[in-house]
Amino acid sequence: MENILKNIESNYPVDQILVNGEQVWPYLRIHYFIRYLNEITASVDEEHFNVNSLSSRRPIRILQVLMQMLRGIPYGFGNWFGRYEYIALTSNSYRRQVAGQYINRFLDPLIDELGPDRVLCMEDTSPFPAYPVDWIYTRHMVSTSLLWLLMQLIVKLRKVLRIRYKIVNKRVLDMIDADYGLNVDAAAQIENYAATRKAFTYLFRLLRPKAVLLTCYYGREPVVKAAKSLGIKVIEVQHGLIGKEHMAYNVYCDIDRSCFPDHLLVFGEQELTTFDNLRFIDPANVHPVGSFYIDYVKATYRPEPQLSERFVGFKRVVGVTLQWTNEKRVLSFICEAAKLDGSIFYILIPRWPQNPAYSTLEPPPNVEVIRDKNFYELMAYTDFHSTVNSTCALEAPALGVQNILVDIDGEAKAYYGMVLCDSRVTRFADTPEEYVAIVNSFPRLDREVVCNLHEDFFAPNYQENIRNFVRTYLS
């Protein structure tokens, strides 16, 4: 896959594209990458695995989204009327069950350290099914649906009044579209950005938070801009892959950083090298803290005998993490591998386990989708882990499980070839035949040994690290 943003930012004057005197590329850049990614994904030949009901992204029509947003408004509505010192923005897709409640594994430990009654958590409850409020660990939580509707009203009102933002040097965007065969509606993205920024500016002026906490800045650039324009700190907590190949965290020219976070809490020391050019964030503001949920799973989860019995008689068990960008290609690859050696069992771990289409799959008998356990729990049953470039490739060794990465079209090596370079922990396979050979010959290491070999990727003493960060930057 071509690094489209590196090419664009190295060859086009994107810093000169302005609206009201402000650069627009810092928030348009991710839309250009996503459009390019969707074009690449759509062009993949999928005829080898007949799963037409499995789409790269769940098809949700505008009316469905609207209805989901309307249903989301009452969700935790009473919490809007409290007094808070911090605002957290996240998605309920990051929640996992801990001690009978659904905890946001990235933000709740930080919220607990700040004080649960001091934080209002605003959560995207669509398109994911919302958990009942009394199942949620977070004490004060509301849905972002109300703000989403306010943004839509602002956009519609401007359309009715025929007010448009003037894009200075729009010719640069036109050249990018033409040269890369894209058709990004930059005007619509600018309208949505401006409406979102206005809505959150009103909110932040009303609530006056000391800081805003995020699990993902991209897609929330107008929120970041609104907060920083009012002198409010923005802290992002790493939720997934960050590295030299991640388009959202690597900037290739000098552009305005006011859409990027002030502080970034990352898993481990390994991530620090990503930010050495200062274009995204000052490396001094990148803080390795580790992972609450990985530490929790390692300390508490034990394999269930009933599930373990399903793998008796197989020589080795491999857990395969699926991703929306390459799901069908990986399914085809794994099914071909499974037919080559029936003594290897493959657990498919879907990105969206609630998708009913998985129940219609007819894979080989040694391949099974398991939907009632998450990736972290399923690693307790596996000898190896496989994916293309999911963050799970970083997390599996932290749980003591070695990787065999599926290098479809060179994507695995492009992301991880220079990062996961210890062949005792991670290996790469180009073909199903090579893959099966590695599964059969890869020396299986003790889980604690794998964790020790991988310690640069996840800092130890998570709770102490979070406490020190709060005392230093958020007190």
Crossing angle, helix 221-229 and helix 186-207, to 10 degrees? 40
| pLDDT at position 2 | 64
Phi, psi (degrees; rounded to nearest 5) at 459: -65, 145
CATH number of 298-457: 3.40.50.2000
Q: Which residues pair with 18 in a beta bridge?
A: 23, 168
Q: Say how many C-beta atoms besides its own lie within 10 A of residue 371's C-beta.
A: 16
> For residue 105, what are its two tokens?
């594994």
Residue with tokens 């190949």: 245
In contact, 280 and 260? CB cutoff 8 Å: yes
- Three-state SS string over the chain comes to CCCHHHHHHHHCCHHHCEECCEECHHHHHHHHHHHHHHHHHHCCCCCCCCCCCCCCCCCCCHHHHHHHHHHHCCCCHHHHHCCCCEEEEEEHHHEEEECCEEEECCCHHHHHHHCHHHEEEEEECCCCCCCCHHHECCCCEEECHHHHHHHHHHHHHHHHCCCCCCCECHHHHHHHHHHHCCCCCHHHHHHHHHHHHHHHHHHHHHHCCCEEEECCCCCCHHHHHHHHHCCCEEEEECCCCCCCCCHHHCCCCCCCCCCCCCEEEECCHHHHHHHCCCCCCCHHHEEECCCHHHHHHHHHCCCCHHHHHHHCCCCEEEEEECCCCCHHHHHHHHHHHHHHCCCEEEEEECCCCCCHHHHHCCCCCCEEECCCCCHHHHHHHCCEEECCCCCHHHHHHHCCCEEEEECHHHHHHHHHCCCCCCCCCEEEECCHHHHHHHHHHCCCCCHHHHHHHCHHHCCCCHHHHHHHHHHHHHC
| Among the listed residues 235, 369, 379, the one whose alpha carbon sits nearest the alpha carbon of residue 301 | 379
Same fold, 54-160+183-290+459-475 and 298-457: yes
CA angle 85, 90, 91 (to 5 degrees): 150
| CA pair distance 323, 344, nearest whole angstrom | 22
pTM of the predicted protein model:
0.86
Q: Which residues pair with 321 in a beta bridge?
A: 349
Residues of the chain with pLDDT under 70: 1-2, 40-69, 126-130, 354, 356, 359-360
| CA pair distance 457, 108, nearest whole angstrom | 21
CATH number of 54-160+183-290+459-475: 3.40.50.2000
| pLDDT at position 414 | 87
Residues 59-98: tens digit of each pLDDT: 445 566 666 667 778 888 999 999 999 999 998 888 888 9
CA dihedral 94, 96, 99, 103 (to 10 degrees): 10
Domain boundaries, the chain: 54-160+183-290+459-475, 298-457
DSSP string, 442-453: SPPPPHHHHHHH
> For residue 103, what are its two tokens?
């905890």
Residues 341-377: tens digit of each pLDDT: 999 999 999 987 767 677 667 889 999 999 889 999 9
